[in-house]
Amino acid sequence: MSRTLFAKLWDRHAITTREDGASLLWIDRHFVHEGSHHAFARLDQRGLPVARPDLTFGVTDHYAPTRRDRTPDADIARMMRTLDENCARQGIRHFGLADPRQGIVHVIGPEQGLTLPGLTIVCGDSHTSTHGAFGALAFGIGATEVAHVLATQTIWQKPARTMRITVDGTLAPGVGAKDIALAWIGRLGAEGARGHVIEYAGSAISGLSMEGRLTLCNMSIEGGARCGLIAPDAITRAYVAGRPQAPADMDAAEADWSTLFSDPDAVFDREVALDAARIAPVVTWGTSPEHALPITGTLPDPARAAPDEAGQIADALAYMGLSAGRPIAGTPIDQVFIGSCTNGRIEDLRAAAQVLRGRRARVPGMVSPGSAPIKAQAEREGLDRVFAEAGLEWVASGCSMCVGMNGDLVAAGKRCASTTNRNFKGRQGPGARTHLMSPAMVAAAAVTGELTDLRGLLAGRGTA
């Protein structure tokens, strides 16, 4: 029987299946961060050790101070210290602040070669879907499930429905993975993929770099999906080769990975198609990732919306301080942020620097690389100088202004052009107004002081 990639991954890891359809899945990689202390406490209460410390990895990222010379407040320091202690006591490898490999969990997993095709990967963070870019079954789990995985290296799950999003054609200059993600979420809605595992396919997906694929799978959760998947190919294999934790026998690994694809006649529960050539640079205007528009678009009017949508639109416009029917381009901003597990990789920094080079930002902003190795590489390439000369602050790695847990915040009423993944009310700070977009679009907003079509700034600079 023909099978989808999701079905193949599921069958590889299902140990047993209950009468209710739930399967006990073996977990190949378990990432824990500062927020996992509740799960460790549950194990301590029952006197249980971590079942497979060799398959468990600690990462300090959510609360990591991006300005390393500043002393974090007592609560943050305690959470980071607790993760240090739990990892040391249980024999877990920990990518802490003092580790030269430290970074955001969904950046350093792929970077270190811990994320590989065919694996099951979980973490107490919804954006674990990022790792599906390698053809891995990766999803976020709750605190109780984190404790279960720590104790057993397994998890009970019911299989999801499947959706294939096919993007064919050629992306226009200045358009990338973030635009694809916001385009389909804007079209289908924040609940459009609920209950599904998305597999991305098509020529535009095959043409994405691994960094772009990671961005796309990262955003899958924002459309309600359980996770995102992209079948591994030559681009995947080239990215993995030479990584610190890459398989010792790459030939054998690649032979196995070559079987990880959906069969040609596999049936999906839902099919969605997008034309890459019709996707423009996209920005969000409201308080959900589904509130997305091409930069050439106009803000929605509640008076023209369906009754069940009008109230939500009016509320979002009021929170964002925007007026219905006006062009989204030209909206003034107060600051910018470049970073996060969505867009903090070297390719993202290069795209932003391409727009910023030789220009001066009209608003303040912060650039936080996704990991310490990316920070070092960016500095070798001189990207840090581009950001500094533009007037943006170059800081260390961490989740930073994406979620604001470490004190990097947007002030109430201020408008931020951001490369992050969520624009909910208060996401970047109480009363903060967030517009999501690609790194190059954020750079364009920085140099103009408003939401801007970056394509007008790329003349003579190639593509971003």
- What does the pLDDT read at residue 1? 84
Q: Are residues 234 and 286 in the same domain?
A: no
| 263, 315: one domain | no
Query: Rounded CA gap, 459 and 438, in Å?
Result: 18
Res 73: pLDDT: 86
CB 396 within 8 A of CB 368: yes
Per-residue pLDDT, 358: 96
User: From the first residue on, what is the mean pLDDT of each consecutive set of 10 residues in the chain (464 residues)?
Assistant: 96 98 98 96 96 98 90 88 97 96 98 98 98 98 97 98 98 97 98 97 98 98 98 98 97 98 98 98 98 98 94 97 98 98 98 97 98 98 98 96 91 98 96 98 98 91 71
Length of the chain: 464
What is the predicted pLDDT for the residue at 99?
96
Per-residue pLDDT of 364-422, as tens digits, reads 999 999 999 999 999 999 999 999 999 999 999 999 999 988 889 999 999 999 999 99
- How do beta strands 270-275 and 282-284 pair? unpaired
Separation between Cα atoms, residue 41 and residue 413, nearest integer Å: 39
- Are 8 and 259 contacting, i.e. CB atoms less than 8 angstroms apart? yes
Residues 296 and 404 in one domain: yes
Which strands make up the sheet holding 23-26, listed edge to edge?
14-17, 23-26, 154-157
DSSP states of 125-179 = SGGGGGGGGGT-EEEE--HHHHHHHHHHSEEEEPPPEEEEEEEES-PPTT--HHH
Q: Which of 238, 271, 304 is the last residue of a domain?
A: 271
CA gap 347, 445 in Å, rounded: 19
**CATH number reported for the structural domain that contains residue 253 in this entry:** 3.30.499.10
- Work out how many domains the chain is built from and give that number: 2
Is there a domain that residue 76 lies in? yes
Q: Residue for token digits 């943006």?
A: 392
User: Which of 225, 244, 271 is where one domain is finished?
Assistant: 271
pLDDT of 143: 94
What pLDDT is recorded for position 404? Answer: 86
Classified as helix, coil or strand, 348 is: helix
β-partners of residue 61 are: none
In a domain, 276, yes or no: no
Residue 287 lies in a domain: yes
pTM above threshold 0.95: yes
Domain range for 325? 281-457
Are 226 and 126 a contacting pair, CB within 8 Å?
no
pLDDT in tens, 125-145: 999 999 999 999 999 999 999
Q: How many CB atoms lie within 10 A of CB 359?
A: 17
Whether residue 215 sits in one domain with residue 67: yes
CB of 339 closer than 8 Å to CB of 436: no
Tell me the C-alpha distance between 456 and 461, whole Å. 11
Exposure class string for 287-307: b at 16+ Cβ within 10 A, else e: bbbbbbbbbebebbebeeeee
Same domain for 247 and 287, yes or no, is no
